[in-house]
Structures are given as C-alpha cells and as structure tokens.
Amino acid sequence: MKNYDILVVGGGPAGYSTAIHAARKNSRNLKIGLVEAQQLGGTCLNRGCIPTKTLIETARLLDVFAEAPQRGIEVTGSATIDLAKAFKYKDRIVKRMSAGIGVLLRENGIDSITGKAFVRKNDDAESNEKFPFVVDVTKADSAKEGQTEYFSAKKVILATGSVPSVVRIPGCETPDVSARVLDSDDILDEKSFSLQSVPKRLAILGGGVIGVEMARIFKAFGSEVHLIEMLPRLLPFLDVEVSDALTKSLKAKGIKVDTDKKLSEAKFDGEKLLLNLADGETIEADFLLVAVGRSPFIETIDKELLAELRPDRRGCLPVDEMMKSTVPGLFAPGDVNGKCMLAHAAIEMGRRAAETAVDELQHVETPTTLDGATTETLLEEYRRRIMEKKGNSLLPNMDEEFFPFYVPGCIYGEPEIGFLGWSEHQAREKLGDAIRVGRFPFAANGRAASVGCRDGFVKVISLKEDKSIVGVHIVGPCASELINEAATVLHNGGNVEQWASAVHAHPTYGEALIGAAAESFDFSLDLPPKR
C-alpha cells in the first residue's frame, strides 16, 4: 500500500487547487496525490463553466452577424451554426485546458492517479494512528481496468463535487421519452449527445443559471426555446429588478418563459414530446433539458464514514470556514459541501483546506498562510479591516459568512449579470431603512451607447450610516467582468464614497459602477439630481 500525507479525491477546481496550494506551501516534502475518475478539471472544465462559455461566445458571434447590417456591414447570406464543428471547437479548448492541469500537477510534484476512489477509515490497528484513511482506487485506464490499488493517507481532501439533480417526472421512464430528456452533462457531451443537429424545439425545465445560459445558447443556434420554472420568478435568488430585467430581455429575444408552472407528465406521440403542465397546458418539444440544480456527489464514501460526516438532507457535507469536516483529518472543499456551488468559490475553499491540512501535518502551533501570516491572524485581519474601515457590525462576518456574501456570482445570459452581497430585498429585510440604493442605467453610459448595449443598469446598495457596501448588482454588458471590481472594493472594505471618487477611464462600462456608487448619495454627474 502506498502512503500519502495528503490524498485529494477529485480533480475539479476544489481538488486541483487544494493539491497545488498544498504543494506550493509544503516546505517539508509532504507526499501529495490526486485521484480523478474522469478528466482533470472536473465539472467546471469538462461539463460546466468552460464548455458553456465557449458555446456562449459562439452564440454571441452569431448575434453579431445578425446585427452587422444595421452598422453598415453588408453580409451576403446568413450565418448558421454547424453543431458538430461548434462542439469540436469547444472540445479542443477543454482538452487543452485539462492537459494544462495535468502539467501543473506534475510540475508541482503531485502524483496524478486515474481511477475511481472509495474512501474509508483505516481499520488496521498497526497503521491507523499514522494513516487514519484508506482510499481504494479502481483503475479506469485500459491496461489496468477493473484492478484496485490501495492507498493510505494522513489527510484526505474529499473534493468530489456535484452531479445534476434528478427529478422524477411521470412518463420519463419510457425509453422514447427518456431518449429525449437530457441533463446538462448530456447536452454538453458530444458522445452521449442525442442531438445530431440543433433541435427545432427545446424545452428547458428550470429557470436557474444553467437553464438561462442554455436558453441563450440554443436560441442563438436557432432553436425555439421554452423555459419552464416552477417558482414565480426566474433566478429567484437574484435581486428582483435584475431578475425582471433578464426575463424581459429573454422574452424580447423570442424565448418563451413560463413561470409558476409545474411539469406533471412527459409523453412521446411518435414524433415529438408532449409536456403536460399541472395547469392543463401542453408544451410540444423535440428535447427536454432538465436543469433543476445540482446535488453533492457522496456515493463513493464508506457508509460508516459517511454517517460520521453527517450530510444534510441535500447530501451536503458540513464544514467549518477552513473546510474541516466533522471527521478530523478529512476536508471537504467545493460543491460537495454545498456552501456556494461556483468554481471560484471551490478554488478559494481548496486554498483554505490546503493551508490547514499542511499546517496540521507540519505541526505548526499557529497555522501560517502562504505569505507567512498566521491563518488566525489572517482571519483576524479580515475581520479588523472590515470592522475598522466599515466600522459597522451590521455587515456579515468575513470569515464565517465569506461564502457566498463576499463571493461574486455571474450569469452569462444576454445581457450578462454579475452580483455580490445582498439583494435589495435581503438588505431591507435585515437592515430596513438603514440602507440606500444607487442606480445607474447603461443607457447613460458612453461606452454602452457606442457598442449598442444600452439595456441594463448597475445597482449599489450601501449603509446610510457609514456608506459601507452591502450589495452590488449589475445587469448589462460585461457584467461578469465588472463585478470583479466590486468584489475588490468590498473585499478591501471600501465604501461607496471612496469607490465613486476613484477616477475611471472614459468611455468605459466601469464608469457605470462609479455612477451608481455616486448616485447613492445623489452625486452622479451623468444623472439629473434626485431632488
């Protein structure tokens, strides 16, 4: 049996970031391995962020061709999509990036092990004090297929991520229907891809991030898209104004949006799917994409160990702010803990897990961080900075509530959305009249006007008392890039006044950010005074 100091299970953002951080921090030659059952890069790289954003860029290019004539560009013929080529292009990007992760692991001295891991406690009395965990790895590579190798580990990083959630829809069990029902893995996977060409009619169950992004892609590719959401609004976790603006824009693009509707049954009539809604309406479609969320993947953990890990009702493994699970020595960063199912959150969680695991292994009395500060000092420093600069105990505690309050989220629809902190509704619920809201429309922004993206706005929510920022919401061009500026300001304890006084280049979309910050205290030069 091969022994490891740290054995990471899962090669997605949480897993590879833990392994690489641990290797970089490791000053005593700790032995680190990473087990991955499929391709390195996890959901993010293979079935999530990167494939969808590649296809969204293809969709955007199609839109550009459609808009070209109004700019005076003559296009002969029309731009159409070749789905097979579009997927090949996406796959090339994914393959290159996945190989890049392999190189990074190798260059950092991390053993990369291919196979499916099963994690359990070490029941060997002689070795279990030193190596409390055993990981059985069933090999997937053709030479050793089916063979199992055994590894023991002092620390295990369980970064097994998540999988598409399944809903039981009556009728879906029949083969004709199930062949036409896809999840987000299927629709992005060329091999299991049942669509030989763009479907004429695509119904999407679930108006969350994945549903909205897929609607944007397939509408641009030429499908008639019908979004079905059970709740009264699309993207219900968003600020209401932002969610309403997006819904309006989706409808304007010709995407049918049905909220407050429940799918009760799916049938196949020999030609098409008939999707019966609970209110009696029937939607016709060629394919149904089910995008109803994601569930932590915890199947490959021994039963006894899993019981000690105390998963909640959804299967999320509880962890503290440094990603320590309820079992000493076992860490669970990333989607598997359900705190914030985003790739950049998983990367930050991996960093925290690595720092703590290495500190524990090196028996450092006061844990240290990469730059030499102690972990405790770092958290203390975060807290001090927020309290001092913002001087306000109304704000969420940065270490305990880091995820998701201080982590930006994005939706790559048309237009894009970027958000951070509390929505206006949440802020009012918590703080009542203690907040004020600054808004700036992209219609008043020079760059947006010249590019022709005048829809949308920036909304900044702050405390009246000391101008601390508690929420930033952007719907409009490049929102996914702009929100990073807001994250930097929030992270460093800046307030709306300081933000508004930072000179921004002209003409840029970023001016809309300081416009909204300034509008919080009625000082935006580009908007008429409120009074």
Residue placing its CB nearer to ligand FAD in the complex, 169 or 346: 346
Residue placing its CB nearer to ligand FAD in the complex, 266 or 410: 410
| 38 scored as a contact of ligand FAD (CB under 6 A) | yes
Q: What angle, 0 to 180 degrees and rounded to 10, lies between the N-to-C axes of helices 479-491 and 511-519?
A: 50
Q: How far apart are alpha carbons 498 and 468 in whole angstroms?
A: 10
The piece of 35-43, 173-181, 395-403, 450-458 that touches ligand FAD (CB under 6 A) is 35-43
Query: Minimum CB separation from ligand FAD for residue 145, in Å?
Result: 15
Q: How far apart are alpha carbons 426 and 87 in whole angstroms?
A: 40
**String of contacts with ligand FAD for each residue 102-121, x by CB under 6 A:** --------------xx----
Residue placing its CB nearer to ligand FAD in the complex, 117 or 489: 117
SS3 assignment for 109-148: CCEEEEEEEEEEECCCCCCCCCCCEEEEEEECCHHHCCCE
Residue placing its CB nearer to ligand FAD in the complex, 37 or 443: 37
| 43 scored as a contact of ligand FAD (CB under 6 A) | yes
Which residues are registered as beta bridge partners of 459?
Answer: 439, 473
The correct pick among 7, 20, 32, 35 for binding ligand FAD (CB under 6 A) is: 35
Site for ligand FAD in 443-472 (CB under 6 A): none
Residue placing its CB nearer to ligand FAD in the complex, 118 or 509: 118
**Beta pairing class for 111-121 and 133-139:** antiparallel
Of the candidates 78, 87, 31, the one whose C-alpha atom is nearest the C-alpha of residue 58 is: 87
Query: Minimum CB separation from ligand FAD for residue 52, in Å?
Result: 5
| 344 scored as a contact of ligand FAD (CB under 6 A) | yes
Measured from the Cβ of residue 251, the count of other Cβ atoms closer than 10 Å reads: 12
| 162 scored as a contact of ligand FAD (CB under 6 A) | yes
Q: Which residues contact 127 (CB under 8 A, 6 or more apart)?
A: 152
Query: Minimum CB separation from ligand FAD for residue 332, in Å?
Result: 9
Contact 184, 291 (CB under 8 A): yes
The correct pick among 7, 198, 220, 341 for binding ligand FAD (CB under 6 A) is: 341
61: helix, strand or coil: helix
| 55 scored as a contact of ligand FAD (CB under 6 A) | no
Q: How far apart are alpha carbons 280 and 269 in whole angstroms?
A: 17
Query: Minimum CB separation from ligand FAD for residue 47, in Å?
Result: 6
The correct pick among 58, 247, 300, 524 for binding ligand FAD (CB under 6 A) is: 300
| 15 scored as a contact of ligand FAD (CB under 6 A) | yes
The piece of 29-37, 64-72, 257-265, 277-285 that touches ligand FAD (CB under 6 A) is 29-37
| 528 burial via Cβ count (<10 Å: 0-12, 13-18, 19+) | exposed
Residue placing its CB nearer to ligand FAD in the complex, 50 or 81: 50
SS3 assignment for 445-471: CHHHHHHCCCCCEEEEEEECCCCEEEE
| 159 scored as a contact of ligand FAD (CB under 6 A) | yes
Q: Which residues contact 455 (CB under 8 A, 6 or more apart)?
A: 245, 249, 415, 442, 443, 475, 476
30: helix, strand or coil: coil
Backbone φ and ψ for 365, nearest 5 degrees, come out as -60, -55
**String of contacts with ligand FAD for each residue 250-289, x by CB under 6 A:** ----------------------------------------
Enter the tokens of residue 379. Answer: 């958290």
| 510 scored as a contact of ligand FAD (CB under 6 A) | no
Residue placing its CB nearer to ligand FAD in the complex, 484 or 498: 484
Residue 3 is classified by DSSP as: E
The piece of 32-40, 126-134, 306-314, 435-443 that touches ligand FAD (CB under 6 A) is 32-40
Peptide bond into 69 cis (omega under 30): no
| 9 scored as a contact of ligand FAD (CB under 6 A) | yes
| 334 scored as a contact of ligand FAD (CB under 6 A) | yes
Q: How far apart are alpha carbons 323 and 1 in whole angstroms?
A: 27
The correct pick among 133, 151, 218, 297 for binding ligand FAD (CB under 6 A) is: 297
Of the candidates 498, 496, 448, 493, the one whose C-alpha atom is nearest the C-alpha of residue 475 is: 448
Query: Minimum CB separation from ligand FAD for residue 387, in Å?
Result: 29
Site for ligand FAD in 196-215 (CB under 6 A): 210
Residue placing its CB nearer to ligand FAD in the complex, 161 or 493: 161
Query: Minimum CB separation from ligand FAD for residue 42, in Å?
Result: 2
Of the candidates 32, 26, 24, the one whose C-alpha atom is nearest the C-alpha of residue 6 is: 32
How many residues are present in the chain? 531
Size of the site for ligand FAD (CB under 6 A): 36
Contact 163, 336 (CB under 8 A): no
**Residues at the site binding ligand FAD, with contacts judged by CB under 6 A:** 9-15, 35-38, 42-44, 47-49, 52, 116-117, 159-162, 184, 210, 297, 300, 334-336, 341-344, 346
